[in-house]
Amino acid sequence: MPTPAPRVRRVVFVDGVRTPFGRARKDGLYANTRADDLSVKTIRELLRRHPSLPPERVDEVAIAATTQQGDQGLTLGRTVGVLAGLPRSVPGYAIDRMCAGAMTAVTSTAAAIGVGAQDVALAGGVEHMGHHPMGFDADPNPRFLSERLVENDALNMGVTAENLHDTFPALTRERADAFGAASQAKYAAALAAGKIDPDLVPVALRDPENGWGLATADEPPRPGTTVEAIRALPTPFRPGGRVTAGTAAPLTDGAASCLLAAEDTASELGLPARMRMVSFAYAGVEPSIMGIGPVPATTKALQRAGLTIDDIGLFEINEAFAVQVLSFLDAFGIADDDPRVNQYGGAIAVGHPLASSGVRLMLQLARQFADHPEVRYGLTTMCVGLGQGGTVVWENPNHTDYESSDASEGSAL
């Protein structure tokens, strides 16, 4: 008897939600809220929005966090599943690729679905940077420095952003400032147009001093930010540097999760497909200029999909720093203000709760797909600390050329 071959299936992004993002501060939205609870709210909201999904059909819960201890410890995927009320039969795990944690949760579970090992997965990430400052309690191996494996400031993300400015002199502070201000403006416009709220799940806020509140909106954005207003901001990472609070993502608390399914399972269960995964790739780069990571990752993902950059009609690129987005745009010959890029603004405005941002990019791309049926392909991409990039290429089910692979089976969807 021959060895059974894996059943390769396409994977669809059914839906995604996130918590409102909060500032990672002592007086921030989530100062008194647990990280795992944030994740729980997103999972429960996804299940609530899709009552046709029997919870016991979820095959995996993969939740990312960069710092996996305290309220982000204890195998998040499992704890969040139990706390969210999923049946005990549903397994889960925790995953980490720093900023690309949620993206990796998505691609890992998608891969398992793709080879027929699973049908339905919940994937997401959470980062409470107020409870877990980046790199806190980390114990880097001294060999990194003694053997000069990385430069001694490669673990300071702001410094790596300054390094990018050095490496690509065309990336000026003026371009970065303009991009940063535009991010705020695009976010404000998207918020006003009702593009942000539908993806948010409200979170109850315990406050012993003032009573319970409810988080219903992102806290980090600074609407009305102008280039003039940020032109004179200090450069905390280097005297006379170029990176400022106006061109960097603020420290943020938040969680995001999504529901993935095999295309045929989605049909069977009556679940919508808001995006279909085409390809994904991760790539490593020199840690001291980690922000360039999305460039090789995107090249690889496009190659694997048999597509070129010209096939991509919408980009959701994480804005850890404006300069890092600009390095990507320059690499692919895209204008700084290209309307295909970050239509709702980005992390500079909304914030970047490290391991959850990957799914935020996806749920925003999914919403843009619905508004742009003329676009067939889009991508989500992000840089990763210590020198990596990750990219996922997605297809728009609203496009006229889209064919459900399940159509041959006579599905209505």
Partner 1 sequence: MSTPTAERRAERVTHAHARDIRLPGGGGTLALVTLDNGLDHTKPTTLGPLGIAELTATLTGLQARAAAGEIVAVAVTGKPYFFVAGADLTQVGSITDRPTALAFARAGHAAYELLHSMGVPTFAFVNGVALGGGLELALNCDYRTAASDVRALALPEAGLGLVPGWGGAYLVPRLVGIEKALDVVLTRPATNKPYAADEAASIGLVDVVLDPADFLEESIRWAARVVSGEIAVERRPLDPAPLWDGAVAVARQRLDAVVAGSRPAPGRALDLVAEARDASRTDAFAAEDEALADLIMSDEMRASVYAFGLVSAGKRPAGAPDRSLAQPVTRVGIVGAGLMAAQIATLFAQRLGVPVVMRDLDQERVDKGLAAVKATVDRLTSTGRMGQAAGARLLGSIHGTTDLAEFASCDLVIEAVTEILDLKKRVFAELETVIAPTAILATNTSALSVSAMAADLQHPERVVGLHFFNPVAAMPLVEVVQAEHTSLEALATGFAVAAKLRKTAVLVVDRPGFVVNRLLVLLLGVIVDAVEHGTPVEVADRALRPLGLPMPPFELFDLVGPAVGLHVLTSLREDLGDRFPRSPGLEKLVADGTRIVLPAPAKGLPKPVDPAIQAAFTEQAVGTPLDEAGVRSSVLTALTVEVGHMLAEGVVSAPQQIDLCMILGAGWGFHLGGLTPYLDRTGYSERVLGRRLLPDGVANVPTV
Residues in contact with partner 1, shown as a per-residue x/- string from 25 to 44 under the rule CB under 8 A? ---------------xx--x
CA distance 197 to 191: 7
CA distance 123 to 107: 9
Near partner 1 in 143-202, by CB under 8 A? 201-202
| Residue 40: CB minimum distance to partner 1, A | 6
Residue 99 designated active-site? yes
Residue 271 sits in the site that holds partner 1 (CB under 8 A) = no
Residue 51 sits in the site that holds partner 1 (CB under 8 A) = no
CA neighbours closer than 13 Å in the CB half-sphere of residue 373: 5
In the list 122, 203, 255, 326, the residue contacting partner 1 (rule: CB under 8 A) is 203
- CB closer to partner 1 out of 23 and 41: 41
Q: What is the 3-state secondary structure (H, E, C) of 185-251?
A: HHHHHHHHCCCCHHHECCEEECCCCCCCEEECCCCCCCCCCCHHHHHCCCCCCCCCCCCCHHHECCC
| Residue 217: CB minimum distance to partner 1, A | 8
Residue 211 sits in the site that holds partner 1 (CB under 8 A) = yes
In the list 2, 208, 234, 240, the residue contacting partner 1 (rule: CB under 8 A) is 208
Residue 78 sits in the site that holds partner 1 (CB under 8 A) = no
- CB closer to partner 1 out of 85 and 87: 85
DSSP 28: S
Residue 302: CB atoms within 10 Å: 23
Residue 84 sits in the site that holds partner 1 (CB under 8 A) = yes
Residue 352 designated active-site? yes
CA distance 107 to 376: 20
Q: How remote is the C-alpha of 2 from its chain's centroid?
A: 41
Catalytic residue of the set 99, 128, 132, 258: 99
Contact indicator for 105, 76 with CB cutoff of 8 Å = no
Which residues in this chain contact partner 1 in the complex, by CB under 8 A? Answer: 40-41, 44, 83-85, 201-204, 206-214, 216-217
* Active site members: 99, 352, 383
